[in-house]
Amino acid sequence: MDELSLEVRGLAFAYPDGTQALFGVDASIARGERVALLGPNGAGKTTFVLHLNGILAGGSGSVKVAGLPVDPKDKKSLREIRRRVGVVFQDPDDQLFMPTVREDVAFGPANLGMRGPELEARVTAALERVGMGHVADRAPQHLSFGQRRRVAVATVLAMEPEILVLDEPSSNLDPASRRELAEILLDLDVTILMVTHDLPYAAQLCPRSMIMSGGVIAADGKTRDLLADPALLAEHRLELPYGFHPDSLPEAP
């Protein structure tokens, strides 16, 4: 097996009110893979993602990122885990809070102690990777929604993560912005876990998908194979857009 970016074994978790969200999740993602995490609302997807960088813990099972155990009690290790697992929120305004784009992208590396030319080079490289170098000195609130989402991706790339976790990356994007983001993501040399209800976007970007339902991984396989199974989709409250068929898109590279 290729070296793993993510290895999850027997992950179970209940919230303080007793609500059981995860019932023993097993999942592995190889380095460099692009994997979509699909599933209906309430399936446990957000709870699962929040375990990847130690925001949630206290249940049973284990999570490893590039072989490093996620242990919220080990503060030094947790700091490294949160560098390795970069989460891009659904709403970029939850991620951008500094006066300029440059300062937003620099915030994470600077917080780790990076300074001077090294920091500037890191920021420049991250912005260029998402095609946003020309807006470095602009205020984030003056950018379009699609541009803000790309800057949010840059803030995470500046940390040089092992895994890029994207929460509904295509939501609220116009067709051109959706296409531009897809081109950027396909060009990145990083492991990607994309949480989405957008099944065509999953087919376009992710060769493999996992369906989470009822707090477990209910299916795991080639994206096009899963989307071509109407009974499987119906069982887990997933639906393709009207008129769409997975054969209408080439298999994700």
Quick: pLDDT tens for 106-142: 999 999 999 999 999 999 999 999 999 999 999 999 9
pLDDT of amino acid 46: 93
Return the closest-CA partner of residue 35 out of 219, 159, 183, 216.
219
Counting DSSP H helices and E strands in the chain, the numbers are 9, 10
pLDDT of amino acid 58: 87
Chain position carrying tokens 């983001």: 181
- Cβ atoms of residues 195 and 49 within 8 Å: yes
In the β-sheet with 60-65, what is the strand arrangement from edge to edge? 20-30, 4-14, 60-65, 68-69
List for the chain the helix, strand, coil content (%; round to 5).
40, 25, 35
Res. 1 pLDDT band, cuts 50 70 90: very low
Please state, rounded to an integer, the average pLDDT across all residues of the chain. Answer: 94
* 46-58 b/e (C-beta count within 10 Å ≥ 16 → b): ebbbbbbbbebee
- Cβ atoms of residues 62 and 10 within 8 Å: yes
Measured CA to CA in angstroms, residue 1 lies from 4, 194, 217 at distances of 8, 22, 20
Does this model's pTM top 0.85? yes
Residue 208, pLDDT > 90, answer yes
pLDDT of amino acid 16: 94
Measured CA to CA in angstroms, residue 99 lies from 70, 102, 129, 138, 147 at distances of 33, 9, 21, 8, 16
Bridging pattern class, strands 208-213 and 191-195? unpaired
Tens digits of per-residue pLDDT, 225-234?
999 999 999 9
Measured CA to CA in angstroms, residue 177 lies from 7, 120, 132, 172, 174 at distances of 32, 27, 13, 9, 5
- Class in CATH terms, 4-95+163-244: alpha beta
What percent of the chain has pLDDT above 70? Answer: 98
- Tokens representing 86 are 């970069």
Residue type, 189: D
